[in-house]
Chains A and B, each alone.
Chain A
């Protein structure tokens, strides 16, 4: 099953770095492979690519179907992002990852920073 990760634009995460970090981490890679996929612009800004970076896709996570496994994936995303912030940006935001079921059965993992 495929999972998309929705990262807030103001969280300042470089998607390419995150994808590379995820795939280089054995535990994460065992859960799913991360890829960056384009997201079609929904507006007419002068440079859509700068406004909205690509969408992170976790693919090939067939072995993690089911509630418990989904929780494992959410935890992995949260841990990886927390680690990313600590290493790259020297900050430790309180992150939350929620799964939103999409039409067709796929999941969107929505990352938010707790106030």
Chain B
């Protein structure tokens, strides 16, 4: 490796303000000036910060900004290698002979020197900027007072701090962490990834303290901050605080931010409430990390590596450090990867995915970053606002500060460590395979975690049939275990078996205790004592207990075999009551509200699981269409209508869209609306057939409820409760339907809601949201032989209702009465 050092030094009378050296040898004086005018710098900043916010205009300006990067890099190259001394250029060319990939560029200087875009450096005779082929690292001139050291470890230990203060209005919770964690499957070195939960400053302090107590200082090799960030003036900070968007006072472990001049770098962690962020100032973060001997920090926050060019004539130019990355280096961190300007989510995702793939494959850090930078260069399309795509030259953004070369080194396992590590790997929870992979749900994962951490450790996940509860529960179990949130996982599905309290206690004890302890300590105890021992263990340590498909417990015995008698329900309730308030997380999955189980367990801690969000639904649709060779329909308007009707429910999407392999979207839409059974999978499983999925609930309704619910067949998506009385009148007037128990509507709707067939609409008060497939199911029943008369009567009542509503609306439009 040939080291090329460009070092700032005091300005000389001849104009030289830096020197160039090869392999730390002879120094060549050079004069470095900013190749950009202020206007050009402002244009580049606009390009990275503003262009993707409204990518419809100023295309010429964007094009010029993109082109200016090359011009800048070549001008800087000329200043450094060509202008000063022919001998220096000859040395450069000689070094190049061994291959540009064997060069390392080190830039050493004060903040004003680091304001230059050294990563743009480009030899006009080479096709690409040098940073794409060789590491470019920066170094401060200020010596570090302390230096972080990692304890020798057999695994690479990585902590990911993800903060999404905006919740539903924020970047996807796992956009960065999920590809990172999934990359572990191909890791060539043993890696442990933990994700901080919740993403607050207090949780970070507590976590680092706990790790220090358990392992000593220097446990983590890398801490990755997957958070928002910016350079702020004090006025900007105050504006955020006054709007209650920034936590200002009562910041955990830190004083209030005092007024300051110029800009300071902040990272945004999560505040006390959703929508509020807790800005952590660069020095505060540096102090915390150096206390815990963190050697490498990775940041995907905007402007986390941005060094603002000091004002001309600023006497303190050399000390005006705005780069968070640089500040962390001064505090003792050995290597920092940060972002020079605003970074898009797509770029951060691509950069970090490649970086960790390389790191986990055993590459050294500088080489991994170079490779990730190259990936940004080769794949320039970035998702902009308004669902647009723009090309950006943002390979320039990653800025690497490095004191000394960093390689993530591990020591050999001791035999005991090896056994423990691979035993842990061997007992990892493995979720059942999902046909199209696990898609989306980032916001649901975030919401579930927040409820468990801030409300109660027992949570009911309630969702209508086909919403994907079981798939989510299995996924959470694996995700949380892999990312260090829980240790052991125990899953009990009541659709498979009527698990009694005793069976659960025994199964959990076997999972938690070794064979010896189970036999010697647990087994001799009576059942009550076993439960007490196990509850104590579960309350003291964090595991995950999942009880799924709870609606089966109280189901009709004829429809579902796995019900529990009343006394057994009470025992189960008593067990869960003992776990409430402990460290173990308890997730309950059901179509209904499970009121019998709520008191002193989950109480009102309920998460209503919706369908997939539109983006995830679109991704799943793409996967389904691709598998079934129907991608030609992707832009078809009837496919869009189908997606609207299916409301992001994974199972209905998988079953209905699969029909596009042999039918047109128009035909599938018509079949869905007509209740044609032919579009369903021929399966007896409620997780494969949409009719079975609904029948599982429907068969548990009372006969009265089943009959009455059929009257909702003509509705699509929602039912307006305000019109129910009128609709009932029209139905009652039909002789075929007159015998129906219309006075039991409220009871029947509640029963249907308990079985996950409908629910109050979350956005529109006074409306019921129907499970997307319920109308199809009901229509398919009406299409059965012998139902023609009932079908006609319901359709007549429905038509008359809308005739009446139409007349009422027309009356309002033409009325001359003010009220």
Instruction: Collect the chain A residues with CB atoms within 8 Å of residue B385's CB.
Output: 6, 39, 42, 52
Q: Which residue of B lies closest to A1 (CB)?
A: B637
A50 surroundings in chain B (CB, below 8 A): 240, 245
Q: Does A63 contact B (CB under 8 A)?
A: no
Identify which of B337-345, B428-436, B547-555 touches chain A: B337-345
Contact flag A48-B169 (CB < 8 Å), given A6-B56, A8-B54, A110-B56:
yes
- State which residues 324-353 of B face A: CB under 8 Å: 339, 342-346, 348
CB of A44 within 8 A of CB of B52, answer no
- A residues near B54, Cβ cutoff 8 Å: 6, 8-10
> Which chain A residue shows the least CB distance to B226?
A44
Chain A CB within 8 A of B50 CB: yes
Min CB–CB distance B319 → chain A (angstroms): 24
Count chain A residues whose beta carbon lies closer than 8 angstroms to a beta carbon of B.
29
Q: Which residues of A contact B228 (CB under 8 A)?
A: 44-48
Q: Contact: A43 with B52, CB < 8 Å?
A: yes
A112 touches B57 (CB 8 A): yes
- A41 near B166 with CB under 8 A, answer yes
**Is B383 in the interface zone, CB < 8 Å from A?**
yes
B343 A43 Cβ-Cβ under 8 A: yes
Q: How far is the CA of A42 from the CA of B56 in the complex (A)?
A: 16
Using A41-B170, A44-B348, A46-B279 as known contacts, say yes or no to A8 and B57 having CB atoms under 8 A apart: yes
A20 interfacial contact with B, CB 8 Å? no
> How near does chain B come to A48, taking the closest CB pair, in angstroms?
6
Q: Are A44 and B302 in contact (CB under 8 A)?
A: yes
Q: Which of B53, B232, B383 has the most CB of A within 10 A?
A: B53
Which B residues are in CB contact (< 8 Å) with A90? Answer: none
Chain A residues whose CB sits within 8 angstroms of the CB of B711 once the complex forms: none
**Among the listed A8, A9, A49, A100, which residue makes an inter-chain contact with B166, where contact means beta carbons less than 8 Å apart?**
A49
Q: Is B171 an interface residue (CB 8 A)?
A: yes
CA–CA, A59 to B615, complex, Å?
19
Q: B230 near A: Cβ within 8 Å?
A: yes
- Are B300 and A44 in contact, CB atoms less than 8 angstroms apart? yes
Contact of B56 among A10, A40, A112 (CB under 8 A): A112
Task: Tell me the B252-284 residues at the A interface (CB within 8 Å).
Answer: 266, 268, 275, 277, 279
B295 at interface (Cβ–Cβ under 8 A)?
no
> Contact at A105–B635, with CB atoms within 8 Å?
yes
Whether B169 contacts A46 by the Cβ 8 Å rule is no
Contact of B52 with A47 in the complex, beta carbons under 8 Å: no
What is the chain A residue whose CB lies nearest that of B232?
A46
What 1/0 mask marks residues of chain B from 690 to 712 whose CB sits below 8 Å from any chain A CB? 00000000000000000000000
A30-65 CB contacts (< 8 Å) to partner B = 38-52, 55
Render B633-668 as a binary contact track against A, CB cut-off 8 A, 1 for contact.
011010010000000000000000000000000000
For A101, the closest partner residue in chain B by CB is B635
B59, chain A: closest CB distance, angstroms: 12
The answer for the CA separation of A51 and B54 in the assembled complex, in Å, is 11
| Interface SS majority for chain B | mixed
Known: A43-B302, A44-B227, A112-B57. A105 touches B637 (CB 8 A): yes
Cα A10 to Cα B302 with chains together (Å)? 20
Residues of chain A contacted by B52 (CB below 8 angstroms): 42-43
CA distance A41 to B163 in the complex (A): 14
Does A104 sit within 8 A of B, measured CB to CB? yes
Give the residue name and chain of the B residue nearest to A48 (CB): B166
A41 surroundings in chain B (CB, below 8 A): 166, 169-171, 345
Q: Indicate with 1 or 0, residue by residue over B381-402, a CB within 8 angstroms of chain A CB atoms.
A: 0111111000000000000000
CA distance A108 to B291 in the complex (A): 51
> Would you give the shortest CB distance from B614 to chain A, in whole angstroms?
10
Residues of A within 8 A of B345 (CB): 41-44
Q: Does any Cβ of B come within 8 Å of A4's Cβ?
A: yes
Are A45 and B168 in contact, with the CB atoms below 8 A?
no
Which chain B residues lie closer than 8 Å to A44 at the CB level? 171, 227-229, 300-302, 339, 342-343, 345, 348
**Which residues in chain B, 159-201, are within 8 Å of chain A measured between CB atoms?**
166, 168-172
Interface string of A97-108 (1 = CB under 8 A from B): 000101111001
The residue from B227, B301, B348, B635 contacting A104, defined by CB atoms under 8 A apart = B635
Residue of A nearest to B239 (CB): A50
Within 8 Å CB of A105, what residues of B? 635, 637, 640
In chain B, positions 294-332 with a C-beta closer than 8 Å to chain A are: 300-302
Chain B residue with Cβ nearest A38: B169
In the complex the two chains form, what is the Cα distance from A39 to B345 in whole Å? Answer: 13
Distance, CA A52 to CA B634, complexed state (A) = 29
Contacts of B634 on A, CB cut-off 8 Å?
Answer: 103
Q: Which of A4, A38, A100, A104 is close to B168, meaning CB atoms less than 8 Å apart?
A: A38
Check A9 against B53 for contact (C-beta < 8 Å): yes
A67 to B684, CA, bound (A): 48
Tell me which residues across on chain B come within 8 A of A45, comparing CB atoms. Answer: 228-230, 302, 342
What residue in chain A is nearest B345 (Cβ atoms)? A42
B 220-243 contacts with A by CB, 8 A: 227-230, 232, 240
Name the distance in Å between A64's Cβ and chain B's nearest Cβ: 16
Q: Is the CB of B640 within 8 A of A104?
A: yes
A102 contact set on B, CB distance < 8 A: 387
What residue in chain B is nearest A41 (Cβ atoms)?
Answer: B171
Residues 57-115 of A contacting B (Cβ, < 8 Å): 100, 102-105, 108, 110, 112
14 further contact pairs, Cβ within 8 A, besides A38-B168, A43-B52? A9-B54, A10-B54, A41-B169, A41-B170, A41-B345, A42-B382, A44-B300, A44-B348, A45-B230, A46-B268, A46-B301, A48-B170, A103-B635, A105-B635
* A→B interface (CB under 8 Å): 4, 6, 8-10, 38-52, 55, 100, 102-105, 108, 110, 112
What are the 10 tightest A-B residue pairs by CB atom distance, in nearest-first order?
A46-B230, A38-B169, A44-B302, A44-B228, A104-B640, A6-B386, A46-B268, A105-B637, A110-B56, A46-B228
